[in-house]
Amino acid sequence: MSENDSVKPVLSSAVPMTIEGKRMLEDELKRLRSVERPSVIKAIEEARALGDLSENAEYSAAKERQSFIEGRIQELNAKLASAQVIDPTTISTDKVVFGATVVLSDQDSGKEVTYKIVGTDESDIKQNKLSVSAPLARALIGKKVGDEVTVNAPKGSLLYDVVEIRYE
């Protein structure tokens, strides 16, 4: 590749996330490093002071918590290192892609529902944030306004019409 080739290869291990999702992971990482980690180290020191470690439940619990915290820190570091941050406001397409806010109409009930397609770590169905890996999100990718979407669910096939696509 020459110096003028500015094409970045797409990493197959890239973790797509919104700006908000990246901020959320960074905040969790900061909390784990600055609050949780020092707290568990202190708990281990206090448990050690109690004596015999072989029968010390406080020590075992603190070590287990420490292991979880360190594992989560490694996981967050890996996700952030391979993050592909996508700002939905910069997307200009008439198709559903990652970051889209999609208004759907249930063909059976006529009821409308709105979902935002986000990264796996950002998903929260109570806030209508749908993981990009969820069956409905996968069915929506590439659809346009007016398209019909079929989702196979445990209770049978669900049919939706795409009413609106926004990038906000």
Note down pLDDT in tens along the chain; length 168 residues: 334 333 344 445 788 999 999 999 999 999 999 999 999 999 999 888 877 777 778 888 999 999 999 999 999 999 999 999 999 889 888 999 999 999 999 998 999 999 999 999 999 999 999 999 999 999 999 999 999 999 988 888 889 999 999 998
Q: Where in 33-140 does DSSP place strands (E)?
A: 83-86, 101-106, 112-118, 129-131
- The predicted model scores a pTM of 0.77
Q: Of 99, 74, 79, which is closest to residue 23 (Cα–Cα)?
A: 79
Q: Where do the domains of the chain lie?
A: 15-85, 88-166
Token output for 12: 């197959």
Question: How is domain 88-166 classified at the CATH fold level?
Answer: Chitinase A; domain 3 (3.10.50)
**Per CATH, the architecture of 15-85 is what?**
Orthogonal Bundle (1.10)
- Please answer whether residues 161 and 108 qualify as being in contact, where contact means their C-beta atoms are separated by less than 8 angstroms: no
Judged by DSSP in three states, 94 sits in: coil
What's residue 48's pLDDT?
Answer: 85
